[in-house]
Amino acid sequence: GTLTPEQLLRVGGMLRATRNMKEFFKREEVEKAYPRLEDLAHILVPIKSLEEEIETAIISEDEISDKASTTLHNIRRSLKEKNSSIREKIHSIVRSNSKYLQDDLYTMRGDRYVIPVKSEYKSQIPGLVHDQSSTGATFFIEPMSLVNLNNEIRELYLKEKAEIDRILSELSGKVKINGEQCSSNIKILVELDF
């Protein structure tokens, strides 16, 4: 299985605690003051490379860093550019069709940019109808000129998700490879904490 970002953050936190504890017990004054605990701490094995990889890749329980991979960074940069481009285009559409619109703004339906068109003018704006207001007075239409851009953005989101899944899977594999050591470290940390 693949670990979630939250689970990976916990593993990273445990690895950081392992390294800090190991460094703490290396200090001469500590070794002399707590010889029995020092014996326990001696068994700890920091895995700094995995700790750093997790720290670099995962920002929070639900956010993966752009630094996690070059591919993810490039996908997100492309997403920003496409979103900027589509916003400019939709602002232009809103300005040029304001007399047909319920409001001079755009909105999202699902993950598609749409404009709120008065029901009596829906045939004036060529596009795909995504939704209708509860009163029936407004249709949310994706103008045909935006369909390809919206499709490109959707494809980029799918690529982003696939890359995030790959990153999480790769990190999970590295945790598995170091699983025995991680398990030993956590047992020792629990014992030291107790």
Give the predicted TM-score (pTM) of the model: 0.82
pLDDT digits (tens, 9 = 90+) for 174-194: 999 999 999 999 999 999 888
pLDDT digits (tens, 9 = 90+) for 35-53: 788 888 889 999 999 999 9
The count of C-alpha atoms lying within 13 angstroms of the C-alpha of 80, restricted to the half-sphere facing its C-beta, is 6
Spell 150-160 as b/e; 16+ CB within 10 A means b.
beebeebeebb
pLDDT of residue 47: 96
pLDDT of residue 77: 97
pLDDT of residue 122: 85
* Cβ atoms 178, 3 nearer than 8 A: no
Q: Could you tell me the two tokens for 39?
A: 């014996």
Q: How confident is the model at residue 31 (pLDDT cuts 50, 70, 90)?
A: low
What number is the average pLDDT over the span 5-11? Answer: 96
pLDDT at residue 80 greater than cutoff 90: yes
pLDDT at residue 33 greater than cutoff 80: no
- Cα–Cα distance measured from residue 155 to residue 32, given in angstroms and rounded to the nearest whole number: 61
Query: Following CA atoms 127, 85, 90, 162 in sequence, which dihedral angle do they give, to the nearest 10 degrees?
Result: 50
pLDDT of residue 40: 85
What number is the average pLDDT over the span 16-41? Answer: 84
